[in-house]
Amino acid sequence: MIDFILSAPIFLLAFVLVISIVVVIHELGHYWVGRWCGVTIESFSIGFGPTLLAWTDKHDTVWRVAALPLGGYVKFLGDADAASAPDAEALATLKAKVSRERGPDAVKGVFHFLPLWRRAAIVAAGPVANFLLAIAIFAGIIMTAGVATTPAIVGTVLEDSAAEEAGFLPNDEILAIDGRTVESFTDVAQVVALRAGDPLRFDVLRDGETITLNATPRRTQREDPIGGKMSTGVLGIGQNMELNRERHGPVTAIAMGAGQTWTVVATTGDYLGRIIRGKEPADMLGGPIRIATYSGKTAVDTLAIEADPLQKLQILVLRLISLAGVVSVGLGLINLVPIPVLDGGHLLYYAYEAVAGRPLSERAQAFGFKVGLLLVASLMLFATWNDLIYLRGFFS
């Protein structure tokens, strides 16, 4: 605990760096597409709470940095609040005022008066920007530091494990799991981790011959990479220590970066689906506290390695940027959840408008935003509770 307190400034700085990168890019997605669509943008805020720094640009947009770096927002002309909830009475007054003072064409700068497709594009731009950021980060790492791959070859088989029971032997090469091709040991670990209790079929190459082994991963409480506790499926095999690291050119790196981004999306969707079906506990769902713990512990561990200061800095930046890529995918996915106040909720309203030919009633929209706010608050409380339980394991 004392070591943690002494390292608190490092934890805080690392967290602010990671979350700020992700939030700024998300909001810039809304901002740039909004600007392209001709919307008047009143303010751009990174963080919430008291303003630490503010300035006004040539477009009369107020840019501000706030004290709590747990999010941000872009406020368009016509928004009632940072969640872009419309205020019917205010919009009617605004429409009359703008038309009178600036001419009829001035209403084009009001977000809620835009054509449906433009509003949808502006809203979707935030999550899309997060996915593009993740692809860029992963591709950049692949081009500069290279990508490490460990062949899906069994190095060791633990006694009394699911793997031993299934008949795995050292030097077996795993080709596919339930018909899905695997290319590295990491692929195997990702599949097994979310299949505790599920029988799996493994296609294995042994002595030049392909055989089939059936194994059921066992749920095990184990340490995660930074010392916390996590419940996951375990097969009981160790990897072959042969390791390859290879750099790639821009085209291949972007394709691989997109593939890594999709893997994070698919794994997250798979995990959420298993939670709904009651096959996985929800203890891996975390929030800002866990992100802060991961980023801070990454920074502390990096600074503790034996290397010269420049090397430490390079490794630290690489690790934190890589973490930002994963967090960026998570933020993009969360914002696409169809809950009012989130981007996905706005898109749900627009989908209704497109089908019905008219917007959802003002009363229904207002009610939806209230319910959405309650749901988001509940999810945040649940994630925070999970994080506190996680931290208990972290400190034990």
pLDDT in tens, 203-251: 999 999 999 999 999 998 877 666 666 788 899 998 876 687 888 999 9
**Residues 187-193: contacts with CB within 8 Å, 24+ apart?**
187/152, 188/152, 188/235, 188/237, 190/263, 190/267, 192/217, 192/233, 192/234, 192/235, 193/217, 193/232, 193/233
How far is it, in rounded angstroms, from Cα 339 to Cα 240?
Answer: 45
- pLDDT over threshold 70, residue 2: no
Percent of the chain with pLDDT over 90: 39
Q: What is the mean pLDDT of the segment spanning 262-274?
A: 88
Query: Which span out of 201-215, 218-232, 290-304, 378-392 was modeled with the highest average pLDDT?
Result: 201-215
Query: Which amino acid makes up residue 208?
Result: G
Average pLDDT, rounded, for the chain: 85
3-state helix, strand, coil in the chain (%, to 5): 55, 20, 25
- pLDDT over threshold 80, residue 313: yes
Helix (H) or strand (E) segment spanning residue 356: helix 343-356
- pLDDT over threshold 80, residue 5: no
The string of pLDDT tens digits covering residues 164-198 is 999 999 999 999 999 999 988 888 988 998 899 99
How far is it, in rounded angstroms, from Cα 269 to Cα 210?
Answer: 31
Residue 200's DSSP bridge partners are 215
How far is it, in rounded angstroms, from Cα 361 to Cα 370?
Answer: 14
Nearest to 14 by CA among 223, 229, 318: 318
* Residues with active-site annotation: 27
Q: How confident is the model at residue 286 (pLDDT cuts 50, 70, 90)?
A: confident
Taking the chain, what is the end-to-end CA distance rounded to the nearest angstrom? 9
Look at 53-67, 170-184, 303-317 and tell me which has the smallest mean pLDDT: 303-317
Whether this prediction's pTM lies above 0.75 is answered by yes
